Amino acid sequence: MSRSQDRNQDGPRLPPELEREIFTLSLKLQVQNGRNLMLVRVAKRVFDWLIPVYYSVVIGGLDWPPKCSAALLRRYGHHVRHFHIQNRSLIDLLQYCPNVSNLGIWILSLDPEAEAEAIVNLPVTRLSIGIQCIFEKTPKFLAFCSNITHLEISTREPWEPAEILPHFPVLTRLAIFADFTTELTQECLTVGKMLKVIILISSQTNQSGQLHVLKNELEDDIRVVRLLFGRSFVEDWAEGAWGRRDMWMRSDEMVERRIERSLEL
């Protein structure tokens, strides 16, 4: 047998489409395993397949191997679709990621002259952000808000839905991690005219009693979902970014079941 024939027999025997699907699924299931990239480097075709998948999700400071470097994102940043930021020094890296549609910024506030400018041109439809950042009502930032369909906000400060939600005209999903009340929740439902789901989030340590009270007072509104979180918010965000069941998916399923039950009556 010739050497070329031997190489052909050792080559892939699966259809390329199936082989690619297998490697892609493996990467998504083991994305936290740093050995993945070491394995795919032995086959350039597989490396080329998986680079767009691997760089589609960036979690600043938590990825391993690290992705948050200017050198890497200059080369691969156009693949990034989901970007989570917990350190304001990482905001500058967004300039290399023009296609981000799911953005998490968990810092206290944005500098409207610099940091807010870094995000306003991104095609973001899902936003996780501190409520203080939304108060930077520059014209560009308000235009940015007009494309958001999913909004997760976190705050310990009082806020008025009537001042915030009108700037999100296509918002259909709202998640709140804050000191919510029945009155605040009802105002969100009134002001957010497109809202299909509103999620009231509680950690296991601070608001489970509050959720119990709201359960009775808002029982009749099928859009209200109460979630008690047992895992970190970053973990849940990452689950959704990788296409797995996050709070948005779980809440949609709950509301859909309620609608189905109401139609059966």
Q: What is the DSSP letter of 152?
A: E
**Domain segments of the chain: what residues?**
1-54, 149-265
- Partnered with residue 265 across adjacent β-strands are none
Q: Is the dihedral of CA 121, 127, 129, 132 positive or negative?
A: positive
pLDDT of residue 136: 60
pLDDT of residue 95: 92
Spatial distance between the Cα atoms of 156 and 145, rounded to a whole number of angstroms: 21
Of residues 200, 197, 188, the one with CA closest to residue 229: 200
Q: Do the beta carbons of residue 123 and residue 97 sit within 8 Å?
A: no
Spatial distance between the Cα atoms of 47 and 73, rounded to a whole number of angstroms: 16
pLDDT of residue 202: 78
Give, for 234, the enclosing helix (H) or strand (E): helix 233-241
pLDDT of residue 11: 56
Spatial distance between the Cα atoms of 60 and 104, rounded to a whole number of angstroms: 10
| Sole residue written with tokens 């940091």 | 115
pLDDT of residue 86: 83
Segments in 96-146 forming alpha helices (H): 115-119, 131-134, 139-145
Indicate the residue type of 157.
E
pLDDT of residue 143: 84
Counted residue by residue, the chain has a size of: 265
pLDDT in tens, 83-117: 998 888 888 899 999 999 999 988 766 776 667 77
Q: What is the CA radius of gyration of the chain?
A: 22
Find how far residue 139's CA is from the centre of its chain.
24
Spatial distance between the Cα atoms of 195 and 193, rounded to a whole number of angstroms: 6
pLDDT of residue 4: 47
pLDDT of residue 7: 46
Q: Do the beta carbons of residue 154 and residue 130 sit within 8 Å?
A: yes
pLDDT of residue 233: 82
Cβ partners under 8 Å of residue 257, min gap 6: none
Per DSSP, the three-state class of 63 is coil
Residues of the chain with pLDDT under 70: 1-12, 29-43, 61-65, 108-109, 112-114, 132-137, 203-219, 230, 265
pLDDT of residue 6: 44
pLDDT of residue 94: 93
Give one word for 61, left, alpha or beta, with left for phi > 0 and alpha for psi -120 to 50: left
pLDDT in tens, 184-203: 888 999 999 899 999 988 76
